[in-house]
Structure formats: C-alpha cells, structure tokens
Amino acid sequence: MYFVCSRRVNVQVTTTWQTYASCQGLAAEIFYPTTDEETAEAKMVCSRCPVCEPCLEHALYVREKDGVWGGANEKERRRIIRQRRRAAAKARLLADA
C-alpha cells in the first residue's frame, strides 16, 4: 500500500520494518513514558534504531496519539504534521500562481 504525505512523496506503508526495530522484545511501557527521563530513555533506543524513519512515518500516517515513535513524542509528531501541512499549502499556492 502507498500513501502520499504532504511532502508529495510516495511512501510504501508496510510493517516489515518492525522486524528490524531496536524495540523488538523490549517492554512496550518504555515507549509510553510519563516523565522527561523516561522519554529520553525511549528516544535513546530510537536513536540507535535502523528503522527509525519508517517507524516515525507509520506513526504520522496512522495519527498515533500516544507514545514515542520513530524518536518523536506526541507533541513533536503534531509539530511535524503541522509543518508538513503548511509546506503542502505553500507548495499548492506556488503551483497555482
């Protein structure tokens, strides 16, 4: 399956990337932190993960509301979505000009 993100880049959505995730076998609770220290711990795992980018794209695509995905927490993912929407709107305006 493919989807088009607001950057107008086709991205294949699969879950095979999960096989290679650094979080495989770790307790899920690690990625649903309640403190800044716990968030840093989750992000540390993500920073060493070979599939961090597809993980983040998955979370953005499905609008994952909770947890750390692809090294980004909820607030950071909302910011990325806003930035992409603005960039897409700007690109549409420029294309229509």
Map out the domains of the chain as residue ranges. 2-96
Give the per-residue pLDDT at 94: 87
What is d(CA 80, CA 69) in angstroms, rounded to the nearest whole number?
A: 13
Asked if residue 15 has pLDDT above 80, the reply is: no
What is d(CA 47, CA 62) in angstroms, rounded to the nearest whole number?
A: 21
Asked if 39 contacts 72 with a C-beta cutoff of 8 angstroms, the reply is no
Asked if 57 contacts 5 with a C-beta cutoff of 8 angstroms, the reply is yes
Total-model pTM: 0.79
Q: With H, G, I as helix, E, B as strand and everything else as coil, classify residue 45.
A: helix
Name the token pair of 13.
């959505």
State the average pLDDT over residues 49-57.
97
Q: With H, G, I as helix, E, B as strand and everything else as coil, classify residue 54.
A: helix
Give the per-residue pLDDT at 14: 60
